[in-house]
């Protein structure tokens, strides 16, 4: 866990808190869900405050959309990959066999739990510094205008400009119980010969993740 702490630019006083933050509910009842709840709130407050100061001329609606983009599951999963978080996940046998360490929703939830753990282990100012360091590149690239349209809309408009057929979304499968279900969605661009599969805690989020991934590939 030393490597993970270096990547986070934070050394825990109580390493047991970090271990708990990495422990998925498939292991036991003593898991990271409470820390995830706390981390979600702390992250939202930190990002809200930073956007408020960075963009003094945009309105509440734009701030809200931009924040939503930055704290959503797909963004958190991307950040989790930059610190190789999947290498440190503590999962139950079922999740290990099903490849849970690769699941974006688990990585995103775990990163929120780690933020909650840092908050408990230190204070708000320290957590603020860790989060802003982790988010530096995303915040520097943040454009309020991009937040006005979701990724499905952006992908549709991009394809329309090229005269291409619009994307096709399909729900492939659903796993887990109703209150903790994970939805797997596939999206295909027939003319472009591209397809992608993403998962999230709602069909809408999974579709948005597919659209974002395809949009990035088309713009490369």
Q: What is the pLDDT of residues 141-173, one digit of tens each?
A: 887 776 657 789 889 999 998 888 899 999 999
Q: How far apart are CA 218 and CA 220, in angstroms?
A: 6
Indicate where the chain has its CATH 1.10.1520.10 domain(s). Answer: 2-143
Q: Is-catalytic flag, 112?
A: yes
Residue of 40, 150, 192, 197 marked catalytic: 40
Q: Which element (helix H / strand E) includes 153?
A: helix 151-162
Q: What number is the average pLDDT over the span 54-71?
A: 90
pLDDT tier at 177, thresholds 50, 70, 90 = confident
- Are residues 35 and 113 in contact, defined by beta-carbon separation less than 8 angstroms? yes
What is the architecture, at CATH level 2, of domain 2-143? Orthogonal Bundle (1.10)
> What local confidence, expressed as pLDDT, does residue 118 receive?
98
Indicate where the chain has its CATH 3.30.160.20 domain(s). Answer: 151-219
Q: Which of 160, 130, 119 is nearest to 50 (CA)?
A: 130
Q: What is the pLDDT of residues 77-124, one digit of tens each?
A: 999 999 999 999 999 988 877 777 788 889 999 999 999 999 999 999
| Main-chain dihedrals φ then ψ at residue 172, nearest 5 degrees | -85, -45
> What local confidence, expressed as pLDDT, does residue 147 receive?
61
Q: Which ranges in 102-150 belong to alpha helices (H)?
A: 104-121, 124-134, 136-141
Residue 202 tokens read as 């709602």
Structure pTM?
A: 0.73
Would you identify the CATH topology of the domain 151-219? Double Stranded RNA Binding Domain (3.30.160)
Residues 6+ apart with CB under 8 A from 41: none
Residue of 112, 121, 207, 212 marked catalytic: 112
Q: Which of 163, 176, 27, 136 is nearest to 90 (CA)?
A: 27
- Residue where the block lists tokens 């209150």: 179
Q: Is-catalytic flag, 40?
A: yes
């Amino acid at each position: 866990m030393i490597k993970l702490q270096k990547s986070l630019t934070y050394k825990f006083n109580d390493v047991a808190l970090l271990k708990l933050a990495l422990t998925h509910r498939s292991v036991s009842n003593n898991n990271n869900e409470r820390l995830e709840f706390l981390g979600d709130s702390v992250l939202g407050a930190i990002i809200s405050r930073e956007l408020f100061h960075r963009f003094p001329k945009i309105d509440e609606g734009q701030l809200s959309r931009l924040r939503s983009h930055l704290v959503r599951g797909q963004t958190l999963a991307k950040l989790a990959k930059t610190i190789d978080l999947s290498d440190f996940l503590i999962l139950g046998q079922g999740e290990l066999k099903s490849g849970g360490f690769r699941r974006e929703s688990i990585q995103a939830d775990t990163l929120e739990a780690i933020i909650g753990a840092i908050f408990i282990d230190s204070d708000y100012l320290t957590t603020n510094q860790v989060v802003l360091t982790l988010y530096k590149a995303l915040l520097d690239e943040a454009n309020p205008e991009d937040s006005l349209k979701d990724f499905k809309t952006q992908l549709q408009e991009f394809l329309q400009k090229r005269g291409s057929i619009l994307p096709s979304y399909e729900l492939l499968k659903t796993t887990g119980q109703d209150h903790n279900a994970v939805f797997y969605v596939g999206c295909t661009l027939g003319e472009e010969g591209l397809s992608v599969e993403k998962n999230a805690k709602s069909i809408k989020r999974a579709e948005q993740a597919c659209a974002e991934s395809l949009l990035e590939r088309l713009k490369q």
